[in-house]
Amino acid sequence: MGTVSAAESVRLDTRLFRIDTRSLVGSVLLGLVFVLVQQVAHRIDVLISPALVIIGGVTWATFTGLVVLLYRQPAGLITAEVAAFVAVATGLSPLAMFFIPANGLGSITYSLVSRRLPMRTRLHHLIPQIFTNLVGNACVAVGLKVVLHLPWSLILIAAAITSAAGIIGGTLLTHLVYNAVIKSGVTE
């Protein structure tokens, strides 16, 4: 049996859970970066259209994938929920309360789907992004109905656009950044 490089060992890691200091501290730090990025992204989205969360959706999808791939769970949940609770506390969006289940369920979904894939190609990143974005945007869609009282036809259009942006942007960015991190060797 040949030796496996550090980069390959990370890619072959299919554990669902990883509880060590590096992953827990890393998740909190990425959670803070995620918060800052989301604060800017959502404000730009409001300028574009309050019902659509295109830039915020892409950054959400990207951070959700990266944290899960690099640190596993519970790090994915920590990062996701830090961002969601700060969104609620800062009044980032009238839908912020719905980010709590969207972020948590999105992180769990990404974990469950991605752990079965080697995460070497864009297709491997696309598959978990599809499921993650559909789950997360379903939570936000409920918020669009409950909080903004939008008609379901408009909600479905908004969710489809946001999901498509998150799937495409999240797939491309997660693949690009994840591969760069793995090649750099900073994960081990």
Show the domains of the chain with their CATH numbers: 19-184 (1.10.1760)
∠ Cα 82 83 86 (to 5°):
85
Give the amino acid at 140.
Answer: V
Residue 10 banded pLDDT, cuts 50, 70, 90: very low
| pLDDT score, position 188 | 60
DSSP structure string for the chain: -----HHHHHHT---SB--SHHHHHHHHHHHHHHHHHHHHHHHHHHHH-TT--HHHHHHHHHHHHHHHHHH-BTHHHHHHHHHHHHHHHHT--TTHHHHHHHHHHHHHHHHHHHTTS---SHHHHHHHHHHHHHHHHHHHHHHHHHTT---HHHHHHHHHHHHHHHHHHHHHHHHHHHHHHHHHTTT-
| pLDDT score, position 5 | 53
| pLDDT score, position 2 | 45
54 pLDDT above the threshold of 60: yes
Give the amino acid at 97.
Answer: M
Separation CA 97–CA 142 (nearest Å) = 11
Residue 149 banded pLDDT, cuts 50, 70, 90: very high
The model's pLDDT over 100-122, given as tens digits with 9 standing for 90+, comes to 999 999 999 999 999 999 999 99
13 pLDDT above the threshold of 80: no
